[in-house]
Structure 1
Amino acid sequence: MTEMGDSTSNGPGPQGCAGTEEQPGSKGELGSPPSSVRPRGRHRGRAEPLPWYPRRPWLLAVSIPVFVTLHLLGGALGANDGMRLPGILLSVVSGVGLMKVVWVLATPLVRPLAHPLMLVPLLAVPVLAYGSAGAIVLRERGVTHSGVVTAVTPWRGKVTEYLCRVREDGSGGITDTIFCERDDRPGERMNVVRDPGAWVRPQRAGSVADDQIQAVLAVAGSVFLLVVAVSATAMGAAVRPKLVRAWQQ
């Protein structure tokens, strides 16, 4: 009987229960799944941004017309000798900013198409604006006078051009230096348009009307830049929801 009592006392007790208790994280526990099967990072289902797309794209989108306008204005400022360097810097910075905005907001498939289309207008618009700004100022407030060519001097840049010194008629005539043609000779008479405020250089009367065509081309180039940039970013905004869903899967 004593042995039977001893064997009975060795039955399931606290130690036996402890031996059969299931540990946390085993199959029997209804808890969180193991870390190896949990969704991680970008796959958890929340709206994670795409790696190439900002959280608030509209903040960048509104800068597109601003960059296009500053790009055109920078070229026009170059018509004034004192504002030439700031105008060049403004055109360069605004052009780079516009390219960056399109790079960020456009889809990777659209970028290789949009940037080559924008390259030529980005280079041409400041040059056209520089050539036409002076003509616009002279047309609006310029004063035309006639004079006599006193000297013709070659001026060497990328191409050889010629500078004519024209002395205004009258006893106290003012001498202006303007671009002229190779065939012009001292003693010829010439009409010159001068800005009373001296904001732009004087020009030959016939060249003022010709340079106004460049203003039309400069504005057309800026409009083309705006259309390409807005179209590229609009396509990115339209495709973005589909890309987000694919990114989260």
Structure 2
Amino acid sequence: MIRILIVDDEDPPGFISSLKREIEGSTKNKVDLIHINPTPFLHIEPPKEGLRKLEEKVQSTAVQCCDIAAFDINLGDVGRPEENSLRITLQLVEAFREKNKAATVFLYSGTLARILEYDLTKNKTATEGTLKRIFRAQISAFLSRSEISTEIQVSASNPTWLLRVDKLLEQHSREKCSVSGSAFNGKTFAELIQSFRSQDNMGEQITNHIIELGIAGIVDLHT
């Protein structure tokens, strides 16, 4: 199963049906394509409440195994000033990343050049902070709307190593860890998977242990 989240104010985005068909054809896997339209949420008053509910909706998908999340930057139908577009979208990406660091994340827009020109050039006082947020959110690429379908297809065929492990943990969710002395000894993969997915403190410990086991499988560390 390949799960893809699309956050876009088109209902539905024009590329969704062909995207699902093409990925299923090329990967021979079923595709669960989840579309969240932010418009109803961002018309809620007060605006902060609507954004909070939208973030919760995004996170309800992020807690699942998710291969790819793609966020439209230009939420033109929500009645917000264009200069707020990237800021709002970054908040949604950050909400997603709180729960899921295994998925690949893309930002896209049909007016990408204009939005980036404003946020990263004209709005100079916020440029440094915006760039830091982009890097911390581990955004793989900024794409035009015409590119997003192709890039999602490529990414679906080349999952990140964190996502590969995420899927293995999910497939073997009933198995138990037997790492004596560790915080996760005796726990099932099902109990650990969300920590791994969000890369919280325990998730980082699991990741480090997997890396150590991988290295030990190649090199005899006791020589």
TM-score (norm 2): 0.23
| Structure with more contact order per residue of length (Cα contacts < 8 Å, sep ≥ 6) | 1
- Highest Rg: 1 or 2? 1
TM-score (norm 1): 0.22
